Amino acid sequence: MKQTFRLVIDCPDQIGLVASVSQFLADHGATIVEASHHTDLQTGRFFMRHEIGTEHLSLDYNAFVSAFTPLANEYQMQWKLSDSTQRQRVALLGSIESHCLVDILHRWHTGELYCDIPCVISNHPQLKEFADWYQVPFHWIDFKTLGKEQAFAQIRTLLQEYDIDLTVLARFMQILPQSLCRELEGRAINIHHSFLPSFAGARPYQQAYDRGVKLIGATCHYVTQDLDEGPIIEQSVKRISHSDSAPDMVRKGKDCEVTALAHGVRYHLEDRVLIHHNKTVVFA
């Protein structure tokens, strides 16, 4: 992987802002591989992502951060600089369904998803075989024996011990406690098996079947304290008909889930997602 720096900025819109940032980049020899801007006209908020080639850059990572900080302060930026060669550490949380988990593992294994996956955590033991094969440590947290509070305490400990950057709920069927939601804010991604906000909550395919919709879907979103209400990163849909039973819908929906989750995780890992209140800007 060729090294790039990703400069991601979120600040009040202001004349001269882009000029100042661009001048800073030019002054230090940055080639711009990709640049994306968005102004939220309702709130006057400005979002910008630069992917910067480092071949001719006169600053290393730390020097860049130091040099850029005054400018960032001047424009009241929330910002970050990330180095594309630094792999984020991703924990996968699963339950029994394997399709999303295996898909993420496979995309990681083939290099499509650039990250480390130091652990798989599950409230059921069945997924161990997959984790084993990909040589990822597997932790079965036995919710029945431990009780919910203890179980989540163990998960929190694991996330800390493994120094996890991003937690991916790959059809993890337990509701995270509020405190953990807060801790992981902006760093935990869930896949919900419906086209939210339709069919939030339990058994979305059955709900979809009962309502007789003609398209089913899946939603990849950040976890927040409000269940199934977090900022949406990606959604995917598929056409169905009266001839699809609820199990058919489950089968078809899985393809939506896999795709939406894989996209969402990749966008996050590549610093393409900016959260703004309860919505996202995705520089896809």
Residues in contact with a second copy by the rule CB under 8 A:
13, 15-19, 22-23, 25-27, 29-41, 56, 98-99, 102, 106, 110, 112, 133, 195-199, 211-215, 217, 231-235, 237, 239, 241-243, 245, 251, 255, 259, 262, 278-282, 284
Residue with tokens 């896809």: 284
Helix or strand holding residue 252 (H, E): helix 246-269
Following DSSP, what letter does each residue of 92-154 receive, concatenated?
EEE-S--HHHHHHHHHHHTTSS-EEEEEEEESSSTTHHHHHHTT--EEE--HHHHHHHHHHHH
* Choice between 67 and 237, CB closer to a second copy: 237
The candidate with the shortest Cα–Cα distance to 94, out of 134, 56, 66, is 134
The CA distance from 131 to 109, in Å, is 12
The Cα–Cα gap between 188 and 165 comes to 9
Query: Which is closer to a second copy, CB of 144 or CB of 211?
Result: 211
- Of the residues 10, 228, 244, 271, which is catalytic? 228
Nearer of residues 39 and 160 to a second copy, judged by Cβ: 39
The nearest distance, CB 237 to a second copy, in angstroms, is 6
User: 244: which 2 tokens?
Assistant: 């699809």
Choose between 174 and 198: whose C-beta lies nearer to a second copy.
Answer: 198
How far apart are alpha carbons 180 and 224 in whole angstroms?
9
Q: Which residue, among 65, 60, 6, has the nearest Cα to 32 in the 3D structure?
A: 6
C-beta of 234: minimal distance to a second copy in Å? Answer: 6
The least distance separating a second copy from the CB of residue 128, rounded to whole angstroms, comes to 13
Rounded to a whole number of angstroms, the minimum distance from the CB of residue 235 to a second copy is 4
Query: What are the Cα distances from residue 7, in Å, to 12, 69, 177?
Result: 16, 12, 33
163 is known as an active-site residue: no
For residues 46 and 152, which CB has a smaller minimum distance to a second copy in the complex?
A: 46
Minimum distance from residue 88 beta carbon to a second copy (Å): 19
Catalytic annotation, residues: 228
